[in-house]
Amino acid sequence: MGTHHGHEHARLQADRRALTVALVLIVGLTVAELVAGLTSHSLALLADAGHLLSDSAALGFALFAAAMAVRPAQGRWTFGFRRLEILAAQANGLMLGLVGCWIVYSAIRRLVTPPEVAGGVVLVVALAGIVVNLAATLVLSRASRESLNVRGAFLHVATDLAAFVGTAIAGAVILLTGWDRADPIASLVVAGLMFWAAYGLLRESTAIFLELSPQDIDPDEVGRAVVSVPQVVEAHDLHVWTVTSGFPAVSAHVLVDPGADCHAVRREIEAVLRERFDLEHTTLQVDHAQPSVVQLGAVERRQAR
């Protein structure tokens, strides 16, 4: 368990560093793009700026959650503050969806009555945005695989990177052809990317809050692995869930033969769960079974063969 907690602490420290660097980059770009969007009358730039504002808030919330997650368990917070990471991911998903709805509404209005857009300004700012977002995306990509919290921030920045590419194309089209509707069309593409990212974050964070088993762990397989351990008669009240990113847990009530060493069997079960499913956090109640249960368990094992 000490190794697991040491790895978790190192991960959270690395997450904080990555989030801090990305936040500084995105805040600077947000200010520049707001000014450029207002002066050029570009909805695509203002849409990107609105998304960048949500990015800044998302990165700030994610950074706060990562900082709180390293605090030890205390009082009623028996798991510490680690689930704040999942709450931050869910908030980021909701924010992405809401900003996407605003962009769709504004884009439809501008498709009907397109204003004049300064294509040159749009193109220059979009190219600058690509460079900054690419740097922030690379910083976050190293940590995003393990933490749903960082992945939420990563998706914010990654969708902005794609959005800036679309905005640059729209700016070039306006500059070359004068077709102003390219601007709101680009913003609709941005909104589509945001909805896709929001759906993924909300689905995964909701699954954790509802305590579904991790996608890569089948509870039935876990149950079969437990009862396959010698001297185990039965396992019930088996629960497999995710406390927070990278922290799966399992609990079960296990019945063993009347003459078995409960502590030795528990250690063997823990070793099986650790080796086969990478389950480090286990809570097992191991008791001796009544003779009638032992006989029933033997019959069920023979039938299973």
Q: DSSP assignment of 55-83, as one string?
A: HHHHHHHHHHHHHHHTSPPBTTBTTTTTT
**Residue 180: per-residue pLDDT:** 78
The CB density around residue 176, as the number of other CB atoms within 10 Å, is 11
Note whether 240 and 138 are same-domain residues. Answer: no
Asked whether the predicted pLDDT for residue 1 surpasses 50, the reply is no
Query: In 3-state terms, what secondary structure has residue 1?
Result: coil
Helix (H) or strand (E) holding 288: strand 281-288
The last residue of a domain, from among 157, 182, 209: 209
Cβ distance 126 to 164 under 8 Å? Answer: yes
**Residue 303: per-residue pLDDT:** 46
Domain-embedded: residue 214 = no
**Number of separate domains in the chain:** 2
Note whether 175 and 243 are same-domain residues. Answer: no
Note whether 196 and 224 are same-domain residues. Answer: no
The rounded distance, in Å, linking the Cα atoms of 161 and 138 is 11
Note whether 174 and 248 are same-domain residues. Answer: no
Q: Mean pLDDT across the chain, nearest whole number?
A: 80
Note whether 273 and 251 are same-domain residues. Answer: yes
The rounded distance, in Å, linking the Cα atoms of 85 and 63 is 9
**Residue 296: per-residue pLDDT:** 53
What's the mean pLDDT in 202-222? 89
**Residue 111: per-residue pLDDT:** 84
pLDDT tens per residue, range 73-131? 777 777 777 788 788 888 888 888 888 888 888 888 888 877 676 777 778 888 888 88
Note whether 191 and 98 are same-domain residues. Answer: yes
Note whether 289 and 177 are same-domain residues. Answer: no
What's the mean pLDDT in 23-52? 77
60 vs 293, residue with greater confidence:
60
Asked whether the predicted pLDDT for residue 224 surpasses 70, the reply is yes
Note whether 194 and 254 are same-domain residues. Answer: no
Q: Quickly state the pLDDT bin for 265 (edges 50, 70, 90).
A: very high
Q: What percent of the chain has pLDDT over 90?
A: 16
The last residue of a domain, from among 158, 179, 209: 209
79 vs 236, residue with greater confidence:
236
Range of the domain at 201: 2-209
Asked whether the predicted pLDDT for residue 62 surpasses 70, the reply is yes
- The CATH number that applies at residue 274 is 3.30.70.1350
The last residue of a domain, from among 209, 231, 261: 209
Q: Quickly state the pLDDT bin for 9 (edges 50, 70, 90).
A: low
Query: In 3-state terms, what secondary structure has residue 230?
Result: coil
**Residue 297: per-residue pLDDT:** 54
Q: What percent of the chain has pLDDT over 70?
A: 86
Note whether 202 and 223 are same-domain residues. Answer: no
**Residue 167: per-residue pLDDT:** 79
Asked whether the predicted pLDDT for residue 302 surpasses 50, the reply is no
β partners of residue 282: 250
**Of 42, 188, 33, the residue nearest 103 (C-alpha):** 188
Note whether 149 and 123 are same-domain residues. Answer: yes
